[in-house]
Amino acid sequence: MTKALFAIVAFFVVGLVGAAFAVTDEAPISGTVKAIDHSANILTLQTTAKGTTRDVTILLKPDSKIVKFARATEPGKTGFVEQPLTPSDLKPGWAVSVTTKHEVGKEVAEVVTVILEK
Amino acid sequence: MLASPFRFLAVAVFVLVVGLCATRPPAGRAYGDKDKHEEKGGHAHVPAPTQYADIHVPLSVWTDAAMIARGKEIYTTRCAVCHGDGGDGKGPAGLALPLKPPDFRDKDGVAEMRDNYWFWRVSEGGQVEPFKGKGSAMPPWEGQLSVEERWAVMAYQHTFSGHQGPHVPWEHPESVAMGRDIYAMACVMCHGVAGKGDGSVGPMLSPRRAPQPRDFTSAEFKFRSTPSGQLPTTADLFCTVTEGVRSSGGPMTIGLQGHRIMPSFRYMPEAQRLEVIEYVKSLNRGFWERREIKTVAVPAAPPVTPERLSRGKQLYADAECLACHGERGRGDGPSAPTLKDNRNLPIAATDLTKPERFKNGARPEDVYRTLMTGLAGTPMPSYADSLEPDQAWDLVFYVLSLSRGGRTSAAGTR
């Protein structure tokens, strides 16, 4: 009986921890583009969290989406439209926000949003 | 028997796990916890640093249609991508940020933002603490927008809140609420409820004599780095709050450390001192009406030489310092008994042989500044128009030589 109860509790704990990690993986990371290694498809971001500045390396996969927003130029439209970019468009110094997923010890970019081009 | 504690432990852990599941998960590995206000896209309640604290937006800007139109143009091209066309903080790029932009339609949140804080945020963005550490992606606009352009953007952003008048503390008392609370606890006894220097305890510190607590609603502030006739800077007020005011004072000052008629608040957290100063400033609209703030420059002190002291002694006589301070600087000059302050209260000439009691500090640069600014509301005039800097230094060193052994920089620093 006790063992079964422990098994249930362990199941919940593992589930909770797993869920927490799954959620945090989806939290966006904002920072400044420090470097882009086009051969390895690695984006290095300088980001600050909890008062500590650190470099975060993010893998850009072919299905990683890179976008910026610009004013619609079509007559009658005033909102923003999403413009797709390629990794080669990214420049050091740009401010970006990246949603990532965690894959085998690496941060893999899902969407890279350009906040400010400098 | 053995199973019971295990069962109890298992149930306790189960309840804990259920409780944890009921609460929200961590917001993000990189950014940690955020308080409720920031999740809404709000702002941190921190005072603007002193270099921004004196930058108050001219009252007319907030309601000037031309400025608002100019601000809209800038906002639309540079800010709306994150802050949203409607100021709701839901621009397409803003949605992707870990720290969401504020909702300018939140009239309570906007009302709590002081204008100098707002200007600081627009100028330096998220590149400074505490915002940098929270992962703010807000770019600094200082290098790309002029001061007027930043004011214009703020005026346009302000329109989203629905408030019609100028964005000032007397329209939004909540913006100085923390300072008001600190004032009520630490200052009101002497300076009074309305800041007129008429608190119940104040007069007892120096009965029927100067100095009396400052009237914050008047234009006269003794301790300043600004020229005669002007209001002090926030840094000046911070210095006074931090150091207190030295004086021989009356019988009630005996318990105040270091002969202070106003206690030092150096042990109050810096942010709280800045908050109370923002409240004090809100009592005097002059802080919002002044435009350019100039401070008295204090050049590097030259070396002290016998010749300089000799010239200083001559200046001491020529500038009629001895009329009040006396030939030997003991505050016993022929005019001393007749001196009165702007409230017509008798005021003692400072005993220059006791630098530890100099109200405005006793370092050479403090004495230089006092000579150049004067002490508003007292008979001590400004010599800015009558002394060249080198002459002022001559006088400074002579004054400091009047104390035993020329105790200078170690005593009475502000």
Helix, strand, coil in percent for chain A, rounding step 5: 25, 50, 30
Mean pLDDT of the region B406-412: 46
The 10s digit of each residue's pLDDT in B50-65 is 999 999 999 999 999 9
Nearest CA distance, A108 vs chain B (angstrom): 15
Tell me which DSSP letter residue B198 carries.
-
Tell me which chain B residues have a C-beta less than 8 angstroms from the C-beta of A71. Answer: 77
pLDDT > 70 in chain B, percent: 85
Query: Which chain B positions have a beta carbon within 8 Å of A69's beta carbon?
Result: 81, 91-93
Answer for the pair B99, B83: CB distance below 8 angstroms, yes or no.
no
The conformation of residue B331, written as its DSSP 8-state character, comes to S
Contacts with B306 (C-beta within 8 Å, 6 or more apart), sequence order? none
| Contacting B residues, span 314-373, partner chain A, CB-CB under 8 Å | none
Helix and strand numbers (H, E) in chain A are: 1, 7
How many degrees, rounded to 5, is the angle at CA A9 between CA A7 and CA A13? 115
**CA-wise closest residue to B365 among B307, B297, B312:** B297
Q: Which residues in chain B are contacts of A49 at CB distance < 8 A?
A: 30-32, 133-135
Helix (H, G, I), strand (E, B) or coil at B108: helix
* Residue A36, in any domain of the structure: yes
Residues A73, A77, A79: CA angle, nearest 5 degrees = 90
Residue A82 tokens, joined: 């999403």
**Which domains does chain B show, CATH number per domain?**
36-159 (1.10.760.10), 173-289 (1.10.760.10), 306-406 (1.10.760.10)
pLDDT score of B327 more than 70: yes
Which alpha helices (DSSP H) does B246-331 contain, by range? 270-282, 286-289, 306-318, 321-325
Adjacent-strand bridge partners of A109 = A100
| Contact criterion met (CB < 8 Å) for B31 and A95 | no
**Type of residue at B225:** S
Note which residues in 51-70 of chain A have CB less than 8 A from chain B. Answer: 51-53, 56, 68-69
A82 touches chain B (CB under 8 A): yes
DSSP string, B21-48: HHSPPPS-TTT----HHHHTT-----PP
* Pairing verdict, β B245-246 and A52-59: unpaired
Res B385: pLDDT: 93
pLDDT at B201 over 70: yes
Closest CA to B404 of B369, B355, B359: B355
pLDDT (average), residues B101-127: 94
CA distance A106 to chain B (A): 14
Identity of the amino acid at B106 = D
- Site of tokens 């189960």: B14
Mean pLDDT of chain B: 87
Asked whether the beta carbons of residue A115 and residue B93 sit closer than 8 angstroms, the reply is: yes
B3 at interface of A, judged by CB pairs closer than 8 A? yes
8 Å CB contact between B101 and B94: yes
A52 falls within a domain:
yes
B97 inside 8 A of chain A by CB: yes
A116 versus B408: which is more confidently predicted?
Answer: A116
pLDDT in tens, B332-363: 999 999 999 999 999 999 999 988 888 888 89
| Average pLDDT of the segment spanning B205-222 | 90
Residue A106 falls inside a structural domain: yes
Does residue A86 belong to the interface with chain B, where contact is any CB pair within 8 Å?
no
Whether A10 is covered by a domain: the verdict is: no
Q: Is B21 on the interface with A (CB under 8 A)?
A: yes
* Residue B167, helix vs strand vs coil: coil
- The reply to whether B122 touches chain A by the CB within 8 Å rule is no
pLDDT above 90 (res B76): yes
Kindly state whether residue A11 falls inside one of the protein's structural domains. Answer: no
Q: Answer whether B12 touches A (CB < 8 Å).
A: no
What is the DSSP code string of B106-146? -HHHHHHS-HHHHHHHHHHTTSSTTTTTTT--PPP-TTTS-
pLDDT of residue A11: 64
Task: Work out the angle between the directed axes of helices B115-124 and B147-159 (0-180°, nearest 10).
Answer: 120
Q: Is the dihedral of CA B160, B161, B164, B170 positive or negative?
A: negative
Q: Is residue A21 assigned to a domain?
A: no
CA distance B45 to B388: 45
Q: Please give the pLDDT value at position A90.
A: 94
Q: For the residues B136-159, what does the mean pLDDT come to?
A: 95
Structure tokens that stand for B93 in this block: 């790029």
CA A106 – CA A103 distance, rounded (Å):
5
From the candidates B17, B24, B34, which should be mutated to test the interface with A, based on the most A CB atoms within 10 A?
A: B17
What type of residue is A64?
Answer: S
| Tokens found for residue B231 | 């209001």
Listed in sequence order, the DSSP H helices in chain A are 2-25
Residues 6 or more apart whose CB falls under 8 angstroms from that of B330 comprise B351, B352, B353
Give the model's confidence band at B15: pLDDT under 50 very low, under 70 low, under 90 confident, else very high: low
- Region B143-169 average pLDDT: 96
Percent of chain B with pLDDT over 90: 69
- pLDDT at residue B409 is higher than 60: no
Number of domains in chain A: 1
Alpha carbon distance B187, B199 (integer Å): 9
Q: Which two tokens stand for residue A88?
A: 């080669």
Give this complex's ipTM: 0.73
Q: Do A24 and B98 touch (CB under 8 A)?
A: no
Q: Please give the span between the terminal C-alpha atoms of chain B, in angstroms, as a whole number.
A: 71
- List, in sequence order, every residue forming a beta bridge with A69; answer none if it has no partner: A82
Q: Are B312 and B399 in contact (CB under 8 A)?
A: yes
Domain membership of residue A110 (yes or no) is yes
pLDDT band at B133, cuts 50/70/90?
confident
Structure tokens at B306: 């016998």
Q: Which token pair is B167?
A: 């964005």
Q: How close is the nearest chain B Cα to the Cα of A37, in Å?
A: 22
The residue type at B202: G
Nearest to B328 by CA among B317, B339, B340: B317
Nearest Cα of chain A lies from the Cα of B239 at a distance, in angstroms, of 28
Report pLDDT for A9: 64
In which domain, by residue range, is A56 found? 29-116
Q: What is the CATH number of the domain that holds A43?
A: 2.40.50.320
pLDDT confidence bin for B137, thresholds 50/70/90: confident
Residues B291-302: pLDDT tens digits? 889 999 999 999
Do the Cβ atoms of B96 and A28 come within 8 Å? yes
Sorting pLDDT into bands at 50, 70 and 90, what band is B392?
very high
Q: Is the pLDDT of residue B249 over 80?
A: no
* Residue in B11, B91, B135 closest to A30 by CB: B135
Cβ atoms within 10 A of the Cβ of B241, count? 23
Give pLDDT tens digits for B93-105. 998 888 889 999 9
Contacting residues of A for B129, CB less than 8 Å apart: 51
CB contact under 8 A, A6 and B10: yes
Element (H or E) spanning A69, and its range?
strand A65-71
**Mean pLDDT, all residues of chain A:** 83
Element of type H or E holding B82: helix B80-83
Vertex A11 angle, CA A6 and A17, to 5°: 125
- Average pLDDT in the B140-161 region? 96
**Does residue A16 belong to any structural domain of this protein?**
no
Give CA–CA dist B170/B193, Å, rounded. 15
Query: Which of B4-13, B134-143, B313-322, B362-371 has the lowest average pLDDT?
Result: B4-13
At residue A78, the pLDDT reads 82
* Predicted pLDDT at B339: 96
Interface check A27 vs B, CB under 8 A: yes
Give the per-residue pLDDT at B408. 45
Confidence (pLDDT) at B206: 82
DSSP 8-state class, residue B352:
T
Predicted local distance difference test score (pLDDT) of residue B204:
83
| pLDDT over 90 at B386, yes or no | yes
